[in-house]
């Protein structure tokens, strides 16, 4: 994808806008290998995209594929070729993978915790991705076994309290005008008003105790209704999983980057 190439171009040009002064002064030439090694176990993500980019720059690459696990001390990514290129690409590559693999690893942790309580629950992430990282963070979520709540404003319908405040009762006409499923996020305490026109209702910042009583009542009004919950859900996900069909969270995007290191050697 051309957009991914442009993103990688931007990442690497930011790190080396002119030339590598250190390699110039040391007169580094020849070929070698670069190994990115994780100091902790985890789940790989976006290694294919990084690999395709570096392959287009003349390097040979090998990597752990997205969704596969790796152990402490394992090589997650390896590239071979011109030493100057390896020194140009190593730092950003290491940082990039430390982030994407952390997102995948955190997603897997949350999915496992939620499904231990409710095997049918879906763990989905928001569109609150970091600028310039949406594709990679969304792919990392899927690599970790999660789903995507919304890719963008263009792919689904979600009526929020801000929409409701602006349009008022006009919101009740949306079901008859839409070919897509309609999701509504009502204000706190207003869920019953919108249960009948929602395919999926998003309950934001409800406590598990509140959900215990609210969710059954909503499903009585609309037996086909799916209930999603959101709002400060992370390592407490199991408390919410028993009451929801979908759990919406941004937590994986803010996972601490994995501790990775890089080793470059001459062939």
The model's pLDDT over 237-255, given as tens digits with 9 standing for 90+, comes to 999 999 999 999 999 999 9
Stretch (H or E) spanning 148: strand 147-148
Query: Which pLDDT does position 19 carry in this prediction?
Result: 92
Task: Give CA separation, 194 vs 35, 173, 249, in Å.
Answer: 54, 11, 22
Distance CA 95, CA 229 (A): 32
Tell me the percentage of the chain whose pLDDT exceeds 70.
100
> Above pLDDT 90, what percent of the chain?
96
Task: Determine the pLDDT at residue 2.
Answer: 87
Q: What is the pLDDT of residue 242?
A: 95
User: What is the tens place of the pLDDT at every residue in 42-51?
Assistant: 999 999 999 9
Q: Is the pLDDT of residue 145 over 90?
A: yes
Q: What is the pTM of this model?
A: 0.95
Q: Are 24 and 75 part of one and the same domain?
A: yes
Contact 205, 231 (CB under 8 A): yes
Residue 87 confidence (pLDDT) above 80? yes
Considering the domain architecture, whether residues 100 and 167 belong to the same structural domain is answered as no
Residues 6 and 117 occupy one common structural domain:
no
Q: Model confidence at 64, in pLDDT bands (50, 70, 90)?
A: very high
pLDDT at 83 over 90: yes
Residue 189, pLDDT score: 87
Same domain, 147 and 196: yes
Q: Which residues pair with 123 in a beta bridge?
A: 247
- Measuring CA to CA, how many Å separate 42 from each of 92, 141, 225? 19, 13, 36
152 and 96 in a single domain? The answer is no
Q: Do 53 and 142 share a domain, yes or no?
A: no
CB-based burial label for 184 (10 Å; 0-12, 13-18, 19+):
buried
Tokens matching residue 111: 């999915």
Domain that holds residue 41: 2-108+255-266
Q: 23-39: per-residue pLDDT in tens?
A: 999 999 999 999 999 99
Domains held by the chain: number? 2
Query: The domain spanning residue 142 has which CATH number?
Result: 3.20.20.70
246, 120: one domain: yes
N residues, the chain: 267
Burial of 71 (0-12, 13-18, 19+ CB in 10 A): exposed
């Amino acid at each position: 994808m051309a957009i991914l190439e442009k993103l990688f171009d931007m990442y690497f040009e930011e790190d080396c806008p002119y030339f590598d002064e250190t390699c110039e002064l040391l007169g580094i030439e020849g070929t070698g290998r670069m190994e990115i090694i994780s100091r902790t176990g985890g789940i790989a993500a976006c290694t294919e995209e990084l690999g395709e980019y570096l392959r287009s720059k003349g390097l040979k690459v090998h990597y752990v594929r997205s969704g596969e696990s790796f152990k402490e001390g394992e090589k997650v990514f390896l590239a071979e070729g011109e030493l100057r290129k390896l020194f140009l690409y190593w730092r950003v590559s290491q940082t990039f993978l430390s982030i994407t693999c952390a997102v995948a690893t955190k997603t897997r942790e949350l999915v496992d915790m939620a499904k231990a309580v409710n095997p049918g629950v879906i763990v989905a992430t928001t569109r609150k991705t970091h600028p310039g990282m949406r594709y990679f963070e969304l792919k990392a979520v899927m690599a970790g076994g999660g789903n995507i709540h919304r890719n963008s404003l263009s792919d689904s319908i979600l009526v929020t309290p801000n929409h409701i405040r602006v349009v008022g009762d006009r919101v009740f006409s949306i079901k008859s005008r839409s070919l897509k499923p309609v999701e509504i996020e009502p204000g706190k305490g207003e869920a019953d008003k919108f249960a009948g026109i929602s395919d999926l209702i998003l309950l934001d910042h409800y406590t598990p105790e509140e959900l215990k009583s609210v969710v059954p009542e909503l499903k009585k009004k609309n037996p086909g209704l799916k209930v999603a919950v959101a709002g400060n859900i992370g390592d407490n996900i199991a408390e919410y999983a028993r009451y929801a069909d979908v759990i919406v969270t941004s937590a994986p995007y803010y996972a601490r980057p994995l501790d990775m290191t890089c080793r470059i050697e001459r062939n």
